[in-house]
Amino acid sequence: MIHVYLDDYRPCPKGFVPARDAKECRLLLEEETIDILSLDFDLGWGQPTGMEVVRHIIASRKFPRRIYIHTSSAAGRVSMYHELSLHLPGDSQLFGGPMPTALLQEIASTAKA
């Protein structure tokens, strides 16, 4: 089980697999079992957004165990949260903000060097 960090700009936290665009994230969702997925909305000028990943998750029913939305786009956060909340299965958790520092530190401390 892996943790995935979708963002085209911010550095990927230790212990996470980076996905720099929606396509990379969709591939990881198809190929891996994901514990934590942290979503950005804006993924570069003219590029598909995190909402494309949300639609893929819903259509494929490949929900990570925990989903965080770390985007700085307020409208993007609300849109992604709303869509995911309508379809979220009972064994998944959805958080409308970034991962807590304590969680990031815990994952980093257990990550392989």
Q: Distance between the two ends of the chain, CA-based, in angstroms?
A: 17
pLDDT of res. 77: 98
In this predicted structure, the answer to whether residue 58 has a pLDDT above a threshold of 70 is yes
Structure confidence at residue 2 (pLDDT)? 98
Interior angle at CA 97, CA 99 and CA 7, nearest 5: 70
62 within 8 A of 36, measured Cβ to Cβ: no
- DSSP run (H or E) holding 48: none
Q: What six digits make up the tokens of 18?
A: 């980076």
Looking at the structure of the chain, the number of domains it has is 1
Domain that holds residue 76: 2-110
CATH of the domain at 69: 3.40.50.2300
C-alpha 99, offset from chain centre? 10
Rounded to whole angstroms, how far apart are CA atoms 88 and 63? 8
pLDDT band at 113 (very low <50, low <70, confident <90, very high): low
